[in-house]
Amino acid sequence: MIFQKPTAKIALENNEELADNYAPVNDEVETVVGPSVNVEGDFASEGNIIVKGSVAGSVHTSKFLSVEVGAKILANVRAGSAKVAGEVKGNMKIKEVLELDSTARVMGDIEAKTLIIEAGALLFGKVSMPGLEAGEKVTRSRGFGKKTEEVEPSV
Amino acid sequence: MYVYLYDNFLRQKKFESIVKALEVRLTDYGIAGKILRLANYTDAKQVIDEELKRGAKTIVIVGNDHTFGHVLSRAATCDCTFGFLPVGPENTIAGVLGIPVGVDACDILSRRLKERLDIGWMNNRYFVSQLHVLPAKVKVIYDERFAVSANDKMEVVVCNLQPFFWKKNQKDREDNVVHPQDGKLEAFLRPLTKKGWWGYKYEEPSIFPFEEMEIVGAEPFTVEADGKVSKELKVKIKLAHGKIDMVIGRNRKF
């Protein structure tokens, strides 16, 4: 094979530095709950969690939680940020961003800083966001900004 | 003083040249020492303890993953520095430790960059590379907080230093690799589902990093740790922090 043309594959094999850069993406270890696996109890992890099976109890991570299509969570969830494409029955408290895909089904209250809901997602529950409290005083302006008056909310 | 523990397979003629090259390089560096050959039934701990009494400071394992596991699972508690010269096939741990296979490993040994490694503890013994529970109906309890079960049989692999290779199915040509990280043990659970009348099919693995876990089975299940096979009903696995003082390479993966 002396006269073989250098193909991309051979070039990659010859260049160790390049080959290192093309390492497989699934090299990182994180917690993965595979399909047909059932988790029961207080499920907590320090890293990212990917759920493809079912979880009952409670889920807690300070980082990212991904609930894949077909996954079922019957638990209260606390996470740094989350993306839901499966089913969640329980309250969700997300520090940063919560994203609901079109296949998501959420039955429970949601508390998140940022909420993104794709068309088709099903949600049954109360949504609350930090920065806008229920008992907050509403500032109403009268006239053209000349005089302001604080009014207690009627609800 | 250095003591070198050679695996039995290095007697084969095909390894003659590489072993000779290793010995030459070690002599060049001035770190050549006593050579002992391990047989199948040699108790590594006893051998190492005797050598330590005679003044040995560094024990160097020469062989592959099996040799590494065989020696360190028994001699983990010995108070000395360990080195590793990987030779021949089946050397996956060497890559994790950043040690090249062959003569170049001598350069790493001579540099003596040391690190304390964590190892796994199972029931009453240590394991260094991997613990494997063959497919059985088992339940896994993590850190006494949550339990993981499957509908049918489940295969459990706990990795300490040895990376975990798996294929999605039989047609999958490339192995998927997960490199273990230090400070945690990684458990890979692969449930089996019935396929047709006879066969079983492996599902995608679940991955759980942990420090303590328990595997409980209704019936005795087979456990293989560093090549030693036993039948157990309950296995408690823990991480023992910083047990082994080891010479490693700069390109280590942790």
The pLDDT assigned to B211 comes to 85
- Beta pairing partners, A44: A60
pLDDT(B166) > 80: no
- Global pTM? 0.76
The pLDDT assigned to B107 comes to 94
Q: Hey, are the CB atoms on A36 and B191 less than 8 Å from each other?
A: yes
Q: Are A100 and A114 in contact (CB under 8 A)?
A: no
Q: In chain B, what are the domains?
A: 2-112 (3.40.50.10330), 125-240 (2.60.200.30)
The pLDDT assigned to B30 comes to 93
**Cβ of residue A128 closer than 8 Å to a chain B Cβ:** no
Query: What's the pLDDT band for A9 if we cut at 50, 70, 90?
Result: very low
The pLDDT assigned to A71 comes to 95
The pLDDT assigned to A20 comes to 39
CB pairs under 8 A between A and B: 71
pLDDT(B215) > 60: yes
Q: Which DSSP string do the residues of chain B spell out, in sequence order?
A: -EEEEE-GGGGSGGGHHHHHHHHHHHHHHT---EEEE--TT--HHHHHHHHHHTT--EEEEEE-HHHHHHHHHHHTTSSSEEEEEE-SS---HHHHHT--SSTTHHHHHHHT-EEEEEEEEETTEEESSEEEEEEESEEEEETTTEEEEESS-EEEEEESSSPEEE-SSTT--SPEEE---TTSEEEEEEEEEE-SSS-EEEPPPEEEEESEEEEEEEEEEEEEETTEEEEEEEEEEEEEEEEEEEE--TT---
The pLDDT assigned to B181 comes to 56
Q: Hey, are the CB atoms on B206 and A45 less than 8 Å from each other?
A: no
Q: What is the ipTM of this complex?
A: 0.77
The pLDDT assigned to B2 comes to 92
Mean predicted confidence (pLDDT) in B234-241: 90
The pLDDT assigned to B10 comes to 92
The pLDDT assigned to B169 comes to 56
pLDDT digits (tens, 9 = 90+) for B26-65: 999 999 999 999 887 888 889 999 999 999 999 999 999 8
pLDDT(B183) > 80: no
pLDDT digits (tens, 9 = 90+) for A12-46: 343 334 333 333 334 455 899 998 899 999 998 88
Mean predicted confidence (pLDDT) in B94-98: 88
Distance (Å, whole) CA A149 – CA B15: 91
Length of chain A: 155
pLDDT(B160) > 90: no
User: Among the listed ranges A40-49, B157-166, B212-221, which one has the minimum average pLDDT value?
Assistant: B157-166
The pLDDT assigned to A39 comes to 93
Chain centre to alpha carbon of residue A28: 18
User: Among the listed ranges A95-109, B67-81, B172-186, which one has the minimum average pLDDT value?
Assistant: B172-186
Q: Hey, are the CB atoms on B178 and A29 less than 8 Å from each other?
A: yes
The pLDDT assigned to B167 comes to 62
The pLDDT assigned to B144 comes to 85
The pLDDT assigned to A143 comes to 46
Mean predicted confidence (pLDDT) in B125-149: 90
Distance (Å, whole) CA B158 – CA B238: 11
Mean predicted confidence (pLDDT) in B227-247: 89
Q: Hey, are the CB atoms on A26 and B176 less than 8 Å from each other?
A: yes
On average, the pLDDT of chain B sits at: 87
Using left for φ > 0, alpha for ψ between -120 and 50, and beta otherwise, residue A36 falls in left
User: Among the listed ranges B83-92, B173-182, B191-200, which one has the minimum average pLDDT value?
Assistant: B173-182
Share of chain B above pLDDT 70, in %: 93
DSSP SS3 for A22: coil
pLDDT digits (tens, 9 = 90+) for A113-147: 999 999 999 999 999 998 777 655 555 545 444 44
Q: Are A70 and A85 in contact (CB under 8 A)?
A: no
Distance (Å, whole) CA A145 – CA A148: 7
| Domain residue extents for chain A | 8-128
Residues of B in contact with A36 (CB under 8 A): 150-151, 191, 193, 203
User: Among the listed ranges A47-51, A151-155, B87-91, which one has the minimum average pLDDT value?
Assistant: A151-155
The pLDDT assigned to A16 comes to 39
On average, the pLDDT of chain A sits at: 77
Q: Hey, are the CB atoms on A36 and B193 less than 8 Å from each other?
A: yes
Position A92, amino acid: M
pLDDT digits (tens, 9 = 90+) for A43-94: 988 889 999 999 999 999 999 999 999 999 999 999 999 999 999 999 999 9
Interface test with B, best of A29, A63, A73 (most B CBs within 10 A): A29
